[in-house]
Structure 1
Amino acid sequence: MKAPFKGFLGGLLLAAGCVTGTPPEFRGDPPMDFPEPDAVDAVVFLIGDAGDATPDNSPVLRRLAADVEYWAELLERDSAVTVAFLGDNVYPVGVRDRGHPEFAADSARLWSQIGVLAGPFARERGAAGFFLAGNHDWGNTIGEMGVVRLQNQAALLDSARADGIAVSMVPAPGDPGPWVNDVRSNVRLMAIDTHWFLQSPTAQARNEFFLSVYEAMVAAEDRHLIMMAHHPYQSAGPHGLLTPGDQGLGLMYLMRRSGALVQDLNSPIYDDFRRRLDGTFEQVGRPPLVFAAGHDHSLQVLDPDSEGGPETVLVSGAGSKLTAVADAPELRYAASRPGYMMLIFRSNEAVDLYVVAAPTADPTCPEGEGFDRESCMAETTEGISLVYAERLAPEASLPDTSAVSPRR
């Protein structure tokens, strides 16, 4: 069975500063089709960096909205569908104050994503939208000014929730987390604010944060843990790898290593974050099943690049912009195409990953007199399809009863 994808995906920009060269893409028929709804307990959609999308320029969100409505209708229970917006929900600098001349444009960008959960079945069944903070949502700044930008975004989400759309900012503005939510008895979502850490909080605050992460992971017990953030655990995109031709010259390398570009994963402050996070996983003795994030504007499925890292690393940041992906030995799948990811939690305890993407890198529908933009949008939306799938966790094994004597 194929779910009737109708997302909302156009108007995607190839960012200036992307890695040069042809990005890797692993083709072939997906190993799994979508399951029948009666075999599914819960669905979690993952989409990041959608803060440049609007209803007029982006088929990805239109397609995503239809998918949310499809699963909300057929799963027939409350809170079975979740959408995680993985940060950078409002470009370029988050939601400015209500009196600012750009407030209306900022609000429109956020409402474009809120609308994904505004369908009648999504409302009725309490499909939830969780918005994580990215560096742009912080206004690309630190301290109280950044927290105010997050509070402005949270206030808009609160108004949508008052109107019956189950959306919220997680963790709360200025709180690094972890925030946790169980989407079913054996699956726990955990959200953290990685930009908070990149602001160089005090040693005591960092220690308290990682202690909280440790305690939340221990409390998860044997649940599948899906850890979510804006900055990825690792990436083969521009924020993660220095590759030949990547923005050129040794100056860029020196700036990254000096910490001048703290948003890159190889900056000293992010190295410290990764080191502490890996140490926490080691203490717990069981890493997350998935670490999902955005930040780089592509679709990536990776093996961890360190022993004891998450079982699967996901980068799903192709919501409204694109950057290229360099080749890397850890990649299981990668594409520089607009799209999003789905985690499907089956009734038999299996966990499946699906990657959904547009057929081309730039499915923009241009404006102009006499041009049927809506027909273009509809056609582009229909072109979004399943491009990759794999099983992340096996189905539960049945107890062995072969040695048990039958009752007389």
Structure 2
Amino acid sequence: MLLYFLVIIPTLLVVFFAFSYWQERKYRRKPFYRLSDVTWQRYTPAEDAIVVHSVAMIGDIGALATDGTDPVLNLVQQWQQQAQEKGTMVFLGDNIYPIGLPEEGHRHRATAEARLSTLTDTVKNFSGRGVFLSGNHDWLKGRKGGYAQMLRQEQFVRQHIADPDAYLPPNGCPGPSSVQLADGLLLVVINTQWFVQRGETPLGQQDGCPYNHIEEFFLELNKLLKRNTHQRVLIAAHHPLYSNAMHGGKFTMKQHIFPLTAMHKRIYVPLPVFGSIYPFYRRFFGAYEDMSHRKYKRMRKRLLRIFHRYSNLIYVAGHDHNLQHFEVRKNHYIVSGSGSKTAFVKKGGKATFTLEALGIFVLNYYSNGEVWLECLAVSETAATGQVAFRKKLDLIITRAPVSNS
């Protein structure tokens, strides 16, 4: 019996961990496709269909290079040349790492301002439009003083881009804010950081928000979606509602065996079993930015309760540093968070497609009413990047607006 516990069980655990690690290494940085989407390359939009509007969804680009060599920004600029005035760039938050735009004199100010200036210049030099929204890093990683940090970034963007919709929702309010991108395509922006922020959050007319109680946000969101069942609705936020990555509770076997690599990538000290405590905590209890945290969980539940009433919605977020697509209850959920960093994403589950790579998602709305989703990934071999996934999004819409009653 003693031999069983001292030798056989540890040996089985080592074999299990080694096999799992080997399996992960095999598919990391390789695309995963749901079985029904493996043949996605066979399908393309109709040749005679004209792009009415194109939306580039760019998440977590806050560590971009400002010297013109940034691969994702170069990818975006190539998309700009095709989209031109029919294009909208949506920056999905975490626009500046590590802590947003600090006050003048702060040690991170020069780098932060250079990065934000690069992004605003990208919008100003574009014949289409750009919309910024904020993420947890823009709110000082959720800490006290984050509200002022976010307002500083909003003010900077508005000073450099002469468009009232350049930063949404305004004043750090929960939203929802809406922008009609084209006939039949509506953009709705919500501020999910408001719901998980630990410090001060704006609410009420004194803060420039249209209502005094957060319940009114959910009522207004539902009314907005109900009024627009005749359109395709793109909802942009920072926090995903479905994810096969870290904030969704998915961790690599490496993180279980070598947990200290989270502190520094070279600290390979094996701590099997003990190393699983942190990933299990994040999965079942969660940090403030994890789906399993009570605040995040409450927000997600309320939003999905509303979204499940409709079948014309596309929800896009960043936060997790990878590219993912989910199709749930006839709506589509996208994670486009690898604007400047990449991180592990687990294959399978409810996901249609996942990829650990730098890149963006693009939504193309055509003259025949079709909506196609494309994943553009940075390629080491192709200067223009590559299409890693393409899918026609089936959305059920009504032909006339419903009443508000």
User: Are 1:254 and 2:302 counterparts?
Assistant: no
Q: What is the CA deviation profile of residues 26-82 of structure 1, one whole-angstrom value per residue up to 9, with x for unaligned ones?
A: 47662345777971111111110000002334121012113113221xxxxx5x210
User: Are 1:273 and 2:271 counterparts?
Assistant: no
In structure 1, what is the Cα distance between the partners aligned to 2:367 and 2:93?
Answer: 30
Contact persistence 1:50–1:320 (CA under 8 A): yes
Correspondence for 2:265:
none
In structure 2, give the amino acid aligned to 1:117: V
In structure 2, give the amino acid aligned to 1:154: E
- Please give the residue correspondences for 1:6-405 in structure 2 after superposition, counting only pairs within 5 Å: 21=25, 22-23=27-28, 25=31, 26=33, 30-33=41-44, 39-56=50-67, 57-72=69-84, 80-119=86-125, 122-123=126-127, 127-142=128-143, 145-162=145-162, 168-199=166-197, 205-243=213-251, 245=253, 247-248=255-256, 249-254=276-281, 257-259=284-286, 261-282=287-308, 285-304=309-328, 308=329, 311-360=331-380, 382-393=383-394
In structure 2, what is the Cα distance between the partners aligned to 1:50 and 1:37?
Answer: 34
Correspondence for 2:403:
none
**CA distance 1:280–1:113, change in 2 (3 Å):** same
Residue 252 of structure 1: CA displacement?
3.6
Q: What is the CA deviation profile of residues 93-121 of structure 1, one whole-angstrom value per residue up to 9, with x for unaligned ones?
A: 000113334222101111222233343xx
In structure 2, what is the Cα distance between the partners aligned to 1:70 and 1:167?
Answer: 22
Contact persistence 1:348–1:395 (CA under 8 A): no
Runs of 4+ in 1 over 6 A off after TM superposition: 34-38, 394-398
**CA distance 1:153–1:31, change in 2 (3 Å):** farther
Tell me the number of residue pairs that the alignment of Structure 1 and Structure 2 aligns. 339
Q: Which structure shows the bigger proportion of residues in helix conformation?
A: 2
- Aligned to 1:276, the other structure's residue is in SS state helix
**CA distance 1:84–1:332, change in 2 (3 Å):** same
Contact persistence 2:90–2:130 (CA under 8 A): yes
Contact persistence 1:294–1:317 (CA under 8 A): yes
In structure 2, what is the Cα distance between the partners aligned to 1:180 and 1:35?
Answer: 29
In structure 2, give the amino acid aligned to 1:294: G
- Aligned to 1:44, the other structure's residue is in SS state strand
- Aligned to 1:140, the other structure's residue is in SS state helix
Contact persistence 2:234–2:316 (CA under 8 A): yes
Gaps of 5+ in 1: 1-18, 73-77, 361-379, 399-408
**CA distance 1:138–1:35, change in 2 (3 Å):** farther
In structure 2, what is the Cα distance between the partners aligned to 1:99 and 1:146?
Answer: 17
Gaps of 5+ in 2: 1-22, 204-211, 257-275, 400-405
Residue 240 of structure 1: CA displacement?
0.8
Q: What is the CA deviation profile of residues 138-167 of structure 1, one whole-angstrom value per residue up to 9, with x for unaligned ones?
A: 011345x212111111122122214xx887
Q: Computing the radius of gyration over CA atoms, which structure comes out larger, 1 or 2?
A: 2
Higher relative contact order structure (alpha carbons within 8 Å, sequence separation ≥ 6): 1
In structure 2, what is the Cα distance between the partners aligned to 1:34 and 1:299?
Answer: 22
**CA distance 1:243–1:155, change in 2 (3 Å):** closer
In structure 2, what is the Cα distance between the partners aligned to 1:346 and 1:293?
Answer: 22
The two structures have a TM-score, normalised by structure 2, of 0.76
Residue 206 of structure 1: CA displacement?
3.4
RMSD: 2.9
- Aligned to 1:153, the other structure's residue is in SS state helix
**CA distance 1:211–1:395, change in 2 (3 Å):** closer
- Aligned to 1:322, the other structure's residue is in SS state coil
Correspondence for 2:269:
none
**CA distance 1:240–1:389, change in 2 (3 Å):** same
**CA distance 1:39–1:135, change in 2 (3 Å):** same
Contact persistence 1:301–1:313 (CA under 8 A): yes
In structure 1, give the amino acid aligned to 2:288: V
